[in-house]
Amino acid sequence: MNIKSISYYLGLFCFPISILAFINILYSSYFDYFLNINSYFITLTFSFITGLGLLFLGKKSKKRINFIDQLLLIIAVYLLTSFFIGMPFYLSNYQVTFLNSLFEAISGVTGTGFSIFENIKYLDPTLILWRSSSQWIGGLYFLIFIILIFSNKQFNYKMNELSYSGDGGINSENNIKVLLLRIFILYSVLSFIIFLSLNLSGVRMFNSLNLTMSLISSGGFIPTDSLEKIIKSNPQKIIFIFSLLISLLNFFLISNMFEKKVIIRDHKEDFYLLVLALIFILLIYLNNYSGLNIIISVLSSLSNSGLSLLNSDGNLSLYFILITIVGGSIISNTSGIKFTRIYILLKTVSFEITKLVSPNSVVNKNIFNSEKKITDDYIKISFLIFISFFINLFILSGILVFDSIDFEKSFKLSVLTITNTTTSSMYEVGQVNFANLLTTSKLSLIIFMIIGKIELISVFLIVKKFFFKD
């Protein structure tokens, strides 16, 4: 394990937290919110000094690290940045314990949206902005991980090449800088489009800003106790739907719309995702349900956001839970098994059946009718991810049952945790007091929120590296 090289990159990820803390200091000063301003000064100081220290430690090391070290770097980034993001919660006047602070921070960074705060409207506005910005930075980090790290051709279990044709490998320092700049600019532009659209629709600026950071990252934090207090009119609902589509589909779709003439050929995954979303919506409409709230709930579940305007409905709660398992585009902030992997498994089953019925028939092994073929590696990885998802579900559900949570609620909460989806009335999970859960339950949720992002196969690879060396 190349500790010095990991330290160098880990140090780089500390500085954006310092910038967020500085922005909150400016915001606090401008609007005279001085209640928690000292906590942001402390966070700024500690994150900046830690970043400098880690950079100094890894300054003379080789900047090229292998895939296992990259996975360890991702876990280290989630833990260290969550520690810094949790500092304002811990140092606030709300008497938040260290574990609860870390829980809130990791929930934000992973875009899950579980919160230990019950009455959000009574929180200091700077703290509301801070928890929302944790989602924004977490979403940006995850996109960087997907393109720069999970594109590794040796263990390509994310299958990025099916949705992204760019050079995702860490080949040179210049390539990294260009790609990072492109991701940051595109992510910021999309955030600004959502913010401006919400603001023009009549949503107040503070709510628009916080909601934007949730939507772009497929997060679940909102600046009030309920979404109904923010999204009221039909125009606002339409913009909300548009924003969910941005987080659901390929991150580079909009960029390629400006750069390429042929969009469907390069983004067939997105086309099929839209068709799938339409099928999910029509299935509900056929059962005498209608309205924009249904569309929001389907897209919110598919994008693993969980934000909904729909009231509790026992007939649909399990349906929405199953949709969250599907997940969105491979190159997006969504979690879940991912639609492409499910497509590969279903198509593999279909052509195996076809071969049994008609051995001489020609089987189409193309993915989404494109030039890319379904290989044995894709099938093995898709099956492994599918199985590991339910292993996660079984383990976490078993742990939560011991915390006086009934089986149905434990099952649903486990699915939402592994898919990094927030709790809402459409899932019929009910109000979960995360602050009062047992320590074992909180730690388990923290672990599985991270696993939901990096997937269990990452953990298997790390364990194999250290405990089952060849």
Task: Report the 3 state secondary structure along 325-354.
Answer: HHCCCCCCCCCCCCHHHHHHHHHHHHHHHH
Q: Which of 131, 195, 217 is nearest to 453 (CA)?
A: 217
Residue 352 in domain: yes
Q: Residues 310, 227: contact at Cβ < 8 Å? A: no
- Torsion-angle region of residue 114: left (phi > 0), alpha (psi -120 to 50) or beta? beta
Start-to-end CA distance of the chain, whole Å, equals 15
Residue 380 in domain: yes
Q: Which of 431, 397, 411 is nearest to 324 (CA)?
A: 411
pLDDT at 172: 47
- How far apart CA 300 and CA 420 sit, in angstroms, is 12
Residue 406 in domain: yes
Q: Residues 208, 195: contact at Cβ < 8 Å? A: yes
Contacts of 433 (CB under 8 A, 6+ apart): 118
Residue 391 in domain: yes
For residue 365, give Cα distances in angstroms to 76, 130, 346, 369, 385.
39, 47, 12, 8, 20
- How far apart CA 340 and CA 327 sit, in angstroms, is 9
For residue 63, give Cα distances in angstroms to 10, 81, 174, 387.
12, 21, 13, 35
User: How far out from the chain centre does Cα 174 lie?
Assistant: 27
Collapsing DSSP to helix, strand or coil, 366 comes out as strand
Type of residue numbered 43: T
Dump pLDDT digits (tens) for 198-207. 999 999 999 9
β-bridge mates for residue 366, sequence order: 373
pLDDT at 359: 74
Dump pLDDT digits (tens) for 400-412. 988 778 888 899 9
- How far apart CA 218 and CA 426 sit, in angstroms, is 17
Buried b (16+ CB within 10 A) or exposed e, 336-351: bbbbbbbbbbebbeee
Domain span at 288: 283-467
Indicate the number of domains in the chain.
1
Residue 64 in domain: no
Residue 162 in domain: no
Residue 355 in domain: yes
Tokens 């991150």, residue located: 251
The reported pTM is 0.91
Residue 266 in domain: no
- Mean pLDDT per 10-residue run, the chain (470 residues)? 84 94 92 87 95 88 79 92 95 92 96 91 91 95 86 72 59 66 91 95 94 94 91 94 93 79 76 93 86 92 92 82 92 91 89 79 76 84 91 92 84 94 87 88 94 85 69
- How far apart CA 366 and CA 373 sit, in angstroms, is 4
